[in-house]
Amino acid sequence: MSFGSLVFLLRFLPVSILLYYICPSKLRNALLVLMSLVFYAWGDTAGLAVLLAVSAVGYLTALWIRSTSGKGKKWALTLGLIAVLGCLAFFKYTDLILQTLADLGAPLSPLGIAVPAGISFFSFSVAGYLIDVYRDPSVFCSSVIDYLLFVSFFPKLLMGPITRISDIRDSIKSRKVTTEDLEHGTVLFVTGLAKKVILADSIAELWSSVREIGFDGSSCLLCWLAVISFGFQLYYDFSGYSDMASGIARFFGFSLPDNFRTPYSSVSATEFWRRWHITMGGWFREYVYFPLGGSRCGKLRNILNLLSVWLLTGLWHGASWNFLLWGFFYFIILVLEKHLYLGFLESHRFIGHLYLIFITLIGWSLFSVTSIPEIPVLFSRLFGGSGGASAMYFLRNHAVTLVLCALLCTDQAVSVWNRLMKHRGLRSAAVLILMALCLAYITGSTYHPFLYAQF
């Protein structure tokens, strides 16, 4: 079930809120767990068994970790992580490995394994929880219901933000919803919905059109426009989802961590990755980079640590070798920035911003094309390709959307919006207008699933 579907907007969400507020306080966590499982099963009934199995392994392993010490504790953590992350690897990467071996001549073929919805997100939540319990047994959730709510809370279940138990533990135990929560939650939700259905879905048509034409049949400028549109689509799609998730969580008294802070206003890739998909970056930093030694070791070891993190980050996004290339690309860029020119970019912000836009577009070019043979075709068109379909037709059709996307992702636009939202009258008018526009877009256009869900 998508946040942008009429079923969710007009049925599931209103019914969930109504039931929550008429339910006795002691039963509200159980109700949210039930609604979360219904939400998940609505879109992926088969995957529900995987969600429950991973959750059960996490709970039992955390119980084992809490009740033992010494080597037994380490064994419990190790086996639990192998089980949880092994499940993720099996569903997500088995077919990639089999297909790669088949391409190399092995008598194998993909099994056609269906990847459970949101497995990358709820697996990381459970794995992080096990490590946190290992480090501090006091964070263990003795209540199965409370633990399941942490893992399966439906606003964050399918696409994050990736939460740690410390992020919502207090709210799970005790919370209250204020008028401010409801107002702020409504603004977040409607803003996120507008990002998705008005901006992301509209600009997606440009990228889809070029994919239908083919890169080899598109001009240089059209290929650049396509990559720009993909970057905007991905940002407004995923940041829109994150806003909606945070807004829905506020309706039930929870505050989810920020996942985006205007990343396209950055002046370096280093800054960009502090602002884009913040909870994923925080997860890899806390549970991979720091345990490997982080930057507290020699230069060569630190470079190897960064390589490990970025190759894993690339693979986390999908079962395709282009994501590994994308991760390696950012590893190279971040190492170069750290050791050569990050200071220059930060002190020359205009140049740094132009540099960041260029680097990001190159990165999205690698990220967007899952077929490895197509990547050199795209780059050959981006850098010197001549002929092919002209960009002018697409510019005329999408110029307004492109300009809006470029303006609204800046620090300045967000600052102006936040100031406007402090005025109750303007806030109410903006929410009503945006919601009406969103419903019009949803009912009048073809359904577009959230782009980031596939990663």
Query: Which are the catalytic amino acids?
Result: 317
For 81-100, the DSSP string reads HHHHHHHHHHHHHHHHHHHH
363 bridge partner residues: none
Asked if residues 260 and 161 have their Cβ atoms less than 8 Å apart, the reply is: no
| Structure-token pair, residue 409 | 């992702």
Residue type, position 204, single letter: A
389 bridge partner residues: 218
Q: Is 335 exposed, middle or buried (0-12, 13-18, 19+ CB in 10 A)?
A: middle
| Structure-token pair, residue 341 | 């020119």
Per-residue buried b or exposed e for 269-280, using 16+ beta carbons within 10 Å of the residue's own CB: bbbbbebbbbbb
Question: Which among 243, 254, 83, 18 has a CA at the least distance from the CA of 153?
Answer: 254
Instruction: Give the ranges where 218-369 is alpha helix by DSSP (H).
Output: 220-251, 269-275, 278-284, 290-292, 299-317, 321-336, 342-347, 349-368
Asked if residues 401 and 199 have their Cβ atoms less than 8 Å apart, the reply is: yes
Asked if residues 276 and 363 have their Cβ atoms less than 8 Å apart, the reply is: no
Q: Which positions ≥6 away from 355 have C-beta within 8 Å?
A: 267, 268, 345
Residue type, position 191, single letter: T
Instruction: Give, as one character, the DSSP assignment of residue 218.
Output: B
218 bridge partner residues: 389
Place of tokens 């470079």: 303
- Report in angstroms the alpha-carbon separations of 376 from 4, 108, 220, 382: 35, 27, 13, 10
What is the biggest distance separating any 2 CA atoms in the chain, rounded to whole angstroms?
Answer: 68
Q: Is 98 exposed, middle or buried (0-12, 13-18, 19+ CB in 10 A)?
A: middle
Instruction: Give the ranges where 45-174 is alpha helix by DSSP (H).
Output: 45-67, 70-103, 119-135, 144-152, 154-157, 165-173
**Ramachandran assignment for 143, one of left (phi > 0), alpha (psi -120 to 50 degrees), beta (any other):** beta
Place of tokens 């359904």: 447
